[in-house]
Amino acid sequence: MDVEGEPLDRRLSRADMLRLAALAAGAGVVAGPAAAADAAIARLTKETGRLQVMDWAGYGNDGGQSMFAAYVKKYPNNKPQFASPMTNETNAYGRIRAGAHPDLFRPYVGWVKFFAQSGLVQPWNPKLIRNFEHLNPFMVKAGQYRGKQYGIPDDWGFDAILYRKDKVHPKSNSWGLLFDERYKGKIAWFDDLEMITIAGLYLKAKNPWNQTSSELKRSVNFLKSKKHVARFNWSSETDLWQAFGSGEVWIAYAWPNDWVQMKKKLPVVYMHPKEKPIAWVGMFMLLKNSPRPHLAHAYVDAWSSARSGKWLEDNYGYGHANVEAKPSSSQLLKALQLANPKAVTLPNAYLDRDIPQRSTYANLWEEVKRA
């Protein structure tokens, strides 16, 4: 049962502690009371089977294994097993509601409240995550709902615009480049309701994440009127990289890793729109009734280390919530403002947030696609 401040471990009575101490002594543990209790608790809460993980493409055994190498070394019999990648949070939500049972998954910060209220997840116990104390406090707070830690922050970056500087000449640094008639057929949008938020930003809605009915109508009609400029809506980064790399598109709604990959081949710019980019923070969430909660904590702890953070920054071009992680690239350090602990918020960017009318936004985005 969940206990305030300790969602995974029941409070132990004096008799429990004596029993644990006896078990630890029987196991030959002599490193002191704390170590004895840890060892005994580990014995009483031993979990079996492979850790079930649902994550985005590129974070499983197809590239991201360095992020959790320390976990695999410590728990070789409980290696993570990855479900097919989530394409967005709506996809993950639908699959879990339909019966998928991952131990943990990783939506982004704008979905923390939604999943916390859904009844599908449970809070973490930060005391079981040794690297928790090194995570950016601002991002840690963004993972909380009603005082409980539902999200553990790790990777972060920006939704912004990638374009080829040899082909594209923006009139200004603006989200408007995604709708520029001059580049009809050379633009890729992102297949997500976030496009309605982007339209709201560009059209100066008072609150793009919670637009009024008239603002939503304006945003949707605007996207419909500009739909013809987009060659396609991407949901897979590999599809975007192929299209961008081949010259099929020159402009795209993109993430930092897309810039890192494309700048290896092409002269590209990762624009910081004057309306401000949207910052996102990946939040590990723990499924309710997971049979492997302690293993899930160990996995997230490995992900949260400075060593894993540096690898992520060097290889994927994303920031990491561990403030001790620093990339080798000074160019990346500058591009993501990694020395700024509040780079994900104003005045630099809008931190993504809950959308109270999320189902309405989702339905309207489908309406845009059908238009």
Give DSSP secondary structure letters for 137-204: HHHHHHTEETTEE--EEEEEEEEEEEEETTT---SSSSGGGGG-GGGTTSEEEESSTHHHHHHHHHTT
Parts of the chain with a pLDDT under 50 = 1-30, 36-37, 40-41, 43-44
Instruction: Identify the pLDDT of residue 29.
Output: 45
pLDDT of residue 356: 93
Beta partners for residue 149, in sequence order: 144
- Per-residue pLDDT at 316: 85
Q: Where in the chain is the domain with CATH 3.40.190.10?
A: 104-371
pLDDT in the model for residue 191: 93
CATH number for the 104-371 domain, one of 3.40.190.10, 3.30.530.20, 3.30.70.360, 3.50.50.60? 3.40.190.10
- Strands 278-287 and 251-254, sheet pairing: unpaired
Retrieve residue 275's tokens. Answer: 């309306």
Helices (H) and strands (E) counted in the chain, each on its own, are 14, 14
Write down the pLDDT at residue 7: 44
Tens digits of per-residue pLDDT, 149-176? 999 999 999 999 999 999 999 999 999 9
